[in-house]
Homo-oligomer: A and B are copies of this chain.
Amino acid sequence: MKPATLKQIAEQLNISISTVSKALKDYPDVSKKTKDLVNELAKDLNYKPNAFALNLRNKESKTIGLIIPEIVHHFFSSVIKGIISQAEEKGYLVIILQSNESYELEKKQIELLMNQRVDGILISLANGTADYAHLNEVLAQDKPLVMFDKIAKLVRCSKIVIDDRKAAYLATQHLIDTGCKRIAHFRGPLLPQNSIDRFLGYKKALEDNNIPYDPSLVYLCECGEHSFEEGKANAQKLLQDHNDVDGIFINTDLVAIGAINEFKKMGIKIPEDISIVGFSNWHMSSVISPSLTTIDQPGFLMGKNAFKQLHLEITNLKNNLPIVHQEIILQTDLLKRESTKDITAKKNKLHL
């Protein structure tokens, strides 16, 4: 049965459409008897108020837009899950678009979401995005926008991030603490802030420990869908270029797992010959052999926080309250596993 219209109800009861409408909204100038008749028939006829019409009146769509570089990625799918869980709690629906790391597509998608009149936008930037006019345009139109993970420092909006520099410092320091002296870095692409910050954290840790920085030890990765293969290729290149590397800090777990795979094939022992620290704590990292020491990147929590901040801004805007942009930095931890040396165990042995 198709949902009934106000007109059908009015015709069947032989009253005006506006009386039906008022009755359904419980207006005081309609009698209780009419209200009861209207409500009963509306239920029988499966009448549903039109969400578009309602939203048009309320100037709310109760939908938000989410632009994400890549869905088939453990970290981002965890973020999506966090966003959806919170949105559902607050009665919002989430429209999800994938930029495929393309600036052009991202720009188009922002326009699509603006035309759709979403109440706000959540975005993690494409690797290709270096111009921010499309984002500033959203803000100029007073539409709440919250960035997470891959952000642009120059855009003035709320941001949910981790301290990538600090986390990378922690990872590199752990390699140094466990005896590594010649440490390589497989870094992410050139543009996104998080891959720059991880590189800077690596560099700073070397400096603070008086280990000279050697640019020939830094290898680039796209970190896209061929991450595993990139890890393998970089592992090969590294062995060709250098025979003295004893530790690597790697931008993302999947690249690290590719590298471990290649090293194992070539007879390199991990962590004895080369120690490895990854980044993200993908669920496979704990189950491969050797299990991967890595930085835990809290995707689900990041998604939850991103939605919460956006919702706060949407609500403030509706109530004519000022919007205060927040930069929320989430906690990250180093998870010590088998791919780095366990010096506490060694120390204990020496003490026996």
Contact = CB atoms under 8 A, between A and B. Distances in A.
A84 interface: yes
A34 interface: no
Contact of A51 (B97, B98, B116): B116
Contacts of A46: 141
A2 B1 CA distance: 41
A80 interface: yes
Interface stretch (A70-78, A195-203, A204-212): A70-78
B98 A84 contact: yes
Which of the listed residues A52, A94, A264 has the most CB atoms from chain B within 10 Å of its own CB? A52
Interface string A136-147: 000011100000
Interface in A179-231: 228
B77 A71 contact: yes
Contacts of A283: 228
Contacts of A264: 289
A257 B85 CA distance: 29
Contacts of A93: 95, 97, 112-113, 116
Interface stretch (A53-61, A155-163, A235-243, A268-276): A53-61
A80 B96 contact: yes
A84 B96 contact: yes
Given A1-B141, A52-B56, A116-B93, A287 B71 contact: no
A228 B61 contact: no
Given A81-B98, A95-B96, 12 more contacts: A1-B141, A48-B114, A50-B117, A51-B115, A56-B56, A72-B77, A72-B81, A93-B116, A94-B95, A94-B96, A94-B97, A257-B287
